[in-house]
Structure 1
Amino acid sequence: MTERDIFFVANEVNELGGVGRWQAQMARLLAERGHRVTVVGIAPANHPMDLGEPPFKTVTLYARRPPGRPKARRVLGPVDPAVRRHETHMRSAAGRLSELFRDARPGAMIIVSQVWAMEWVALADTAGHAVIGMTHESFETARKSSRFERVKKYYKDVDRLLALTQEDADRWVVEGMNNMGFMPNPLPIVPDTPSPRTEKVVASIGRLSHEKGVDLLLDAWAEAAPKQPGWTLRIYGRGEAEAELRRQCAELGLEDSVDFAGQTDDVPGALRASSLFVQSSRGEGFPLVLLEAMACGVPCVAFDCAPGVREIVTHDEDGLLARPGNTSELARHLVRLMSDEQLRDAMGDQALRSVQRFDPDVITRRWEDLFDFLER
Structure 2
Amino acid sequence: MDLFFKLNKQQVFFHQIYEKKGIVLPNPLDIERIPKPWEGDRVKEVVGAGRLDKQKNFPLLIEAFAKFYKSHSDYVLKIYGDGPLREELIRYAESLLPKDAYCFPGRTTELLEKIKSASMFVLSSDYEGMPNVVIEAMAMGMPVISTDCPSGGSSYLIQNGNNGILTPVGEVDALSEAMCKVAESEKFAIKISREAEKIKNVLDAEVVAEKWREYLDEISKG
Mark yes or no: TM-score above 0.5.
yes
Contact 1:222 1:254 in 2 (8 A): no
2:3 aligned partner: none
Distance 2:219 2:17 in 1: 20
Mapped pair 1:167 → 2:9: yes
Query: What do residues 33-67 of structure 1 show as CA deviations (whole Å, max 9, x unaligned)?
Result: xxxxxxxxxxxxxxxxxxxxxxxxxxxxxxxxxxx
Whether 1:349 aligns to 2:194 is yes
Name the aligned partner's letter for residue 169 of structure 1. Q
User: Is 1:364 paired with 2:206?
Assistant: no
1:105-131, Cα deviation, whole Å (9 max, x unpaired): xxxxxxxxxxxxxxxxxxxxxxxxxxx
SS at match of 1:228: coil
Provide the residue aligned with 1:330 in structure 2.
Answer: 175
> Is residue 2:163 matched to residue 1:321?
no
Unaligned runs of 5+ in 2: 1-5
Where does residue 100 of structure 2 map in the other structure?
256
Give the % identical residues: 27
Give the deviation of 1:368 after TM superposition: 1.9
Whether 2:144 is the aligned partner of 1:293: answer no
**Which structure's residues are more often helix, by fraction?**
2
SS in 2 for 1:285: coil
Shift of 1:186: 2.1
**Could you say what secondary structure the match of 1:211 adopts?**
helix
Question: In the alignment, what sits opposite 1:219?
Answer: 63
- Quick one: structure 1 residues 176 and 284, their matched pair in 2 at CA, closer, same or farther if it must change by over 3 Å? same
Q: 1:1-376 maps to which residues of 2 (within 5 A)?
A: 165-172=7-14, 175-177=16-18, 178-190=20-32, 191-196=34-39, 197-306=41-150, 307-376=152-221
1:333 Cα deviation from its structure 2 partner: 0.2
- Name the CA distance, whole Å, in 2 between partners of 1:331 and 1:254: 18
Deviation at residue 350 of structure 1 after TM alignment: 1.2
Residue in 2 that maps onto 1:99: none
Which residue identity lines up with residue 367 of structure 1 in the other structure? W
1:297 touches 1:349 (CA, 8 Å); kept in 2?
A: yes
Rounded to whole Å, the distance in 1 between the matches of 2:140 and 2:13 is 32
CA distance in 2, matches of 1:264, 1:256: 21
State the distance in 2 between where 1:172 and 1:331 align.
34
* Alignment partner, residue 82 of structure 1: none
Higher relative contact order (CA 8 A, sep 6+): 2
Q: TM-score, normalized by length of structure 1?
A: 0.54
Give secondary structure in 1 for the equivalent of 2:43: coil
Deviation string 1:74-114 (CA, Å, 9 cap, x unpaired) is: xxxxxxxxxxxxxxxxxxxxxxxxxxxxxxxxxxxxxxxxx
Q: How many angstroms does 1:171 deviate by?
A: 4.3
Q: In structure 2, the residue corresponding to 1:240 is in which secondary structure?
A: coil
Task: Give the superposition deviation at 1:334.
Answer: 0.5
Letter in 2 for 1:247: R
Aligned residues: 212
Residues 288-327 of structure 1, C-alpha deviations (whole Å, 9 max, x = no match): 1111001111011110003221111110001111001111
Q: Is the 8 A contact 1:208 1:238 kept in 2?
A: yes
User: Secondary structure of the equivalent of 1:269?
Assistant: helix
TM-score normalised per structure 2? 0.89
How far did 1:254 drift? 4.1
Q: Give ranges in structure 1 of 5+ residues lacking alignment.
A: 1-163
Over the aligned positions, Cα root-mean-square deviation in angstroms equals: 1.7
Q: Cα–Cα, structure 1 residues 327 and 263, in superposed 2: closer, same or farther, change >3 Å?
A: same
CA contact (8 A) 2:140 2:197 kept: yes
Q: Is the CA contact 1:189–1:292 (under 8 Å) kept in the aligned structure 2? A: no
Deviates more, 1:183-192 or 1:203-212: 183-192
Q: Once the 2 structures are TM-superposed, how far is the Cα of residue 192 of structure 1 from its aligned partner? A: 4.7
Question: Separation in 2 of the partners of 1:181 and 1:290?
Answer: 22
How far residue 225 of structure 1 moved from its aligned partner, in angstroms, is 1.1
